[in-house]
Every structure is written in structure tokens, then in C-alpha cells.
Copies of this chain bind each other. A is one copy, B any other.
Amino acid sequence: MKLPLGYAYSAMYAGIRAAEKDDLALIVSGLPATAAAVFTQNRVQAAPVKLSRRHLKASRGLVGALLINAGNANCATRTGDAVALATVRAAAKMLRLPPAQVLPASTGVIGVELDPDKIVDALPRLVGGLSAERFDDAARAIMTTDLVPKTAFAEARLRRGTVRVAGMTKGSGMIHPRMATTLGFVLTDAVIPAAQLRAMLKRGVERSYNRISVDGDTSTNDTLVLLANGASGVRPDAKEMARVEATITGVMESLARQIARDGEGARKLITITVSGAAGDTAAERMARAIANSPLVKTAVAGSDPNWGRILSAAGNAGVAFDPAKTDVYMQGVAVCKGGLAAPFSEQDLKHKLDAAECEIRLVVRGKGKGKAHFWTCDFTEGYIRINASYRT
């Protein structure tokens, strides 16, 4: 599958983090792209988030480049705003773009001053290294505690030609929905008007990034940007726009699932589905409550079919449902029928739960039509090890 046309990528080590792995990435669109973005809902917002919001407004949603660093969140620092502005201006100058068409994004430790010179000094080499082929290098450079880079690709063949979508994201801890969690960048070469692009992003986030949870924490820097530079020359017609949206949403769902799977310390991806709730919102709240329960997540880590914890977690969602009409399935095996233990082979199911993917399905039998999915990961000692010593 080909990458979207009209984008170039670069990455390098600029000395921002101690470990010598790339920590600076640049994504450039040859034509200024129509952009839509969502940012953290945390009250504490990092300098690059504030500047990105301002730039999107000033540029009326046009973006020429994304400048992303890992290793330092540029948040809660004395010089944060000035650093974000200085580095973005330097990049804009070198790329001959209006500064407002460059968006910064940062991820890493909070509260440590970020030295702008490290980025400014690196820019000549970073810009010099731009290439349409270096998508994966950029995806690697934005990683923090991620074990693997997270990318997704898709295309849609439309009447007038093919449009392509590519996405990269990072995130492993501090992952919680109700926002655009972590950093994510989704690129397409389709022609999509700004208002439609924003609506697509909003709906897509609701089905993807807002349906994952690793640890219930949300960061100060979360940013998800969707760019459409039109380089394919293909303008989808009204009917085709729905297919393009499905293609973009598919990429976002894949990225979100990859984040959950790579949750800090995680060994298993858990997919939770709830059906038969009073409405979709009720189903989502129940699925979310199960996904956020450390007791459910530790049980899955131990391959323990402890359905009582699943039922109890759903009971904590603050949503009305009848436990006596509720069934629970794990890996397709009925473990609870009508709120009571169902007969199953403990041995067999334990074995099935050793797989890299775990499915938990909660079904309320009744008149409700509400359903929802949610992704999370198991909760292991690795999470603690990583986070008890991340900063130092």
C-alpha cells in the first residue's frame, strides 16, 4: 500500500532525552493541508498545545508542517511558551512557511525546562533529511515508553482515483479516554473541505481514541491532528465522502488499539463489548467501567476467569441494568448467565486466556439496544516497574 502523496518526513536524535534514540520528528506537507485537531481536556495544558490551538486559529486551519519532540513535554516550565514559539518560528523560516502553519507537539517528562537550542540547532539536519519514505523513522522518534512504533495505513478507491491514509501515534501510559489521548498524526491526500474534516475527526475520535484506557490518567500534552493535503487531486463526491471517513476512522481505530495493546507493562489486548444496555451511552459507561477496573485487568493478567469482578465493575458504572438478566462471556465462553455462575471448564478457559488477545462480552438480555466497544490492556507488575522510576 502506498503512503499518501505529498508528505515528507524526517527524524533525528537532538539530545532532548538521555537515551540516544531519535527524539525529534518533522512532518511536512508540500501543499498546505486542511487540518483538524483535538487536544487534551486537562486543565493543565502544555505550551505546544496552547500554541497549536492559536496557530490553527490564525492560519484558518491550514498546516504546512508538524514539529514533534519526545523526551520533554514542555509543560509547567518557566520558558515553555517562548520555547515552543522559538522552535516553531525557526522551523517555519527554514521551510519558508508562515509560522502559524507550523504546529508543535511534545511528549515526555513534565516540569523540566526544554532547551530550545537543541531543537533549533538540529533543524538544518532535520530539514535536510526530509524524505517521502521516512514515515517509519518519524513514527519511531515520537515514542516514549512505547515498546513498538504504532502506524496504520489504508486506502479508498474512488471513482476519480485512489486516496490514501496513513497514521502514526504514540502512547503507552497516561492513557485514558474522553479526549484525544496521546499524540497522533493522521495524514491523507484526499481533498476534504475543512468543516467536513473537523466533523470526521470528531466522530472518529469518539469511536477510537476515546474508547481506550491504559491507566485512567490523561496527559497535559495530548494532541491528535488530521491533515488532508489534497495531493491525490481526488475530490470525493458526496457519497464517497462516507467511505473516506470510514477509511480514516479505520486508521484511527487501528492506532488506538495499538496503544491499548502496548499499554505500559501490558501483555494482552482486552476488547470489551457491551450490548443490550438502555442506550449507547449507558453501554459505553459500562464498558468503560470494566476497562478501568484494576481488578478486572489484573485478573486477565493472571488468566483468571474472575467474572464476579466484571459484573461488579459494570455495577459501578452508575447505570441502571438488571444483573439477573446479565450474561458475561470471556473468549466466547459463557462464564456468567443471568448474573450467576455458568458451568465452564476452568482449565480450558485459563488456557484460552493465556492468548495475546482477550475478549470480554457483557450482554444484558432485555429490550435495550445500546451497545459499545472499548479497548484496554491487562495490568501487570511491569506497569509498576516502569512508572515507579520513569522520571529519574
Contacts and interface: CB of A to CB of B under 8 A. Distances in A.
Contacts of A75: 308, 312
Contacts of A69: none
Given A320-B43, A388-B301, A308 B340 contact: no
Interface string A381-392: 101110111111
A293 interface: yes
Nearest to A73: B308
Q: Which 7 A-B pairs have the closest CB atoms?
A: A110-B308, A302-B388, A44-B315, A298-B387, A43-B315, A381-B381, A111-B308
Contact of A294 (B215, B298, B391): B215
Interface in A179-219: 215-219
Contact of A110 (B42, B113, B311): B311
A224 to B, nearest CB: 18
Contact of A319 (B43, B219, B323, B388): B43
Contacts of A391: 299, 304, 306, 308
A294 B387 contact: yes
A218 B316 contact: yes
B388 A315 contact: no
Contacts of A294: 215-217, 294, 383, 387
Q: How many copies does the complex hold?
A: 2
Contact of A316 (B42, B298, B384): B42
B43 A299 contact: no
A55 to B, nearest CB: 21
A173 interface: yes
A33 to B, nearest CB: 30
Interface residues of A, number: 65
Contacts of A43: 314-317, 319-321, 323
A312 B220 CA distance: 6
A355 interface: no
Interface string A345-381: 0100010000000000000000000000000000111
Given A44-B314, A299-B391, A387-B299, A110 B77 contact: no
A39 interface: no
Contact of A341 (B112, B220, B295, B311): B112
Contact of A292 (B216, B298, B316): B216
A78 B324 CA distance: 10
Nearest to A385: B381
Given A76-B311, A304-B389, A111 B336 contact: yes
Given A216-B292, A294-B383, A385-B381, A311 B77 contact: no
A323 B44 contact: yes
A388 B339 contact: no
Interface string A315-339: 1110111010000000000001001
B307 A111 contact: yes
A109 interface: yes
A264 to B, nearest CB: 10
